[in-house]
């Protein structure tokens, strides 16, 4: 991960454009989610919308060491899949599922990254509670993204928001800085201690994400090398915003009507 990069006002304005575009893609996909829809259908909607907003996918072809390039513009993570699920024609959504959609795009070289876990039809009370708790913990954490605070202030809110409700957070994956690179310093873990870690400064832009499991925190990577699922088969939820730290506090760059419902 690159060294810490502080963005100036012009760069943050550019990132507002990419954030708005990423939010539009996520919202369009969400509008199509229903029983009987395949994750490949959602991928097609993503590609069409990315073209419409005149952006470029940040995920398609993304390369990690010892990985094949990522083959899609979105991650589609159903039920016990935490992150990085790959769209496929054979994956058809069923009533009662939950699906995490993660998408990022770039405009003029600046990235915007966001994720949301959607209900499919009627979901169980436990799944509904998982989504509510996970989403609320993200917003509690974002409120801590202000100059003078530390990374641990954000991470501790992600952790306590989940664990106080009997859930667990991922330990080996984290949010991250974002800008001209999709992944920049610093890492923003889902667990931490308030008052610890890197001090936050105006001009930092973070992709803050919360990954919460109903069961244990243990996960494993499937044979495709990308998909991360819970070891115990329990449900998992993911929510993420790109957030700029300004002198007067946080500004969410990936907000849309989706988050207001």
Calpha distance 88→62 (Å, rounded): 18
- pLDDT per position as a tens digit, 213-229: 999 999 999 999 999 99
pLDDT of residue 2: 58
- Is a pLDDT exceeding 70 seen at residue 255? yes
Whether the pTM exceeds 0.85: the reply is yes
Non-local (6+) Cβ contacts of 172 within 8 A are 219
Higher per-residue confidence, 260 vs 101: 101
Average pLDDT, the chain: 97
**CATH code matching the domain that covers 9-260, chosen among 3.40.50.1980, 3.40.50.2300, 3.90.230.10, 1.10.760.10:** 3.90.230.10
Non-local (6+) Cβ contacts of 91 within 8 A are 38, 39, 40, 76, 78, 85
- pLDDT per position as a tens digit, 139-183: 999 999 999 999 999 999 999 999 999 999 999 999 999 999 999
Mean pLDDT of 14-39: 98
Mean pLDDT of 106-134: 98
Mean pLDDT of 96-110: 98
Calpha distance 21→197 (Å, rounded): 31
If 0-12 CB within 10 Å is exposed, 13-18 middle and 19+ buried, where does residue 160 land?
Answer: middle
Nearest to 111 by CA among 19, 48, 185, 1: 19
- Is a pLDDT exceeding 80 seen at residue 261? no
Mean pLDDT of 65-70: 87
Sheet (strand 81-83) strand order: 81-83, 228-230, 219-221
The structural domains of the chain, with segments of one domain joined by +, span 9-260
- Is a pLDDT exceeding 90 seen at residue 205? yes
């Amino acid at each position: 991960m690159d060294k810490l990069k502080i963005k100036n006002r012009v760069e943050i304005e550019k990132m507002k454009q990419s954030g708005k575009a990423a939010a539009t893609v996520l919202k369009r996909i969400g509008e199509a989610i229903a029983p009987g829809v395949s994750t490949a259908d959602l991928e097609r909607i993503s590609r069409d919308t990315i073209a419409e907003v005149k952006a470029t996918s940040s995920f398609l072809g993304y390369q990690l060491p010892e990985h094949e390039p990522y083959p899609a513009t979105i991650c589609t993570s159903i039920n016990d899949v935490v992150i990085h699920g790959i769209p496929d024609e054979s994956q058809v959504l069923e009533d009662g599922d939950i699906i995490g959609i993660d998408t990022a795009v770039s405009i003029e070289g600046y990235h915007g990254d966001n994720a949301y876990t959607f209900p499919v039809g009627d979901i169980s009370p436990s799944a509904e509670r998982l989504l509510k708790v996970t989403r609320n913990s993200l917003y509690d954490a974002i409120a801590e993204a202000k100059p003078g605070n530390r990374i641990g202030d954000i991470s501790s809110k992600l952790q306590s928001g989940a664990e106080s409700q009997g859930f667990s957070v991922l330990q080996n994956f984290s949010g991250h800085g974002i800008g001209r690179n999709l992944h920049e310093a610093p890492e923003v873990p889902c667990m931490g201690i308030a008052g610890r870690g890197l001090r936050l400064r105006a001009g930092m832009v973070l992709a803050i994400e919360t990954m919460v499991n109903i069961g244990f925190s243990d996960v494993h990577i499937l044979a495709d090398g990308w998909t991360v699922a819970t070891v115990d088969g329990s449900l998992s939820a993911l929510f993420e915003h790109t957030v700029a730290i300004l002198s007067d506090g946080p500004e969410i760059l990936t907000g849309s009507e989706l988050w207001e419902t």
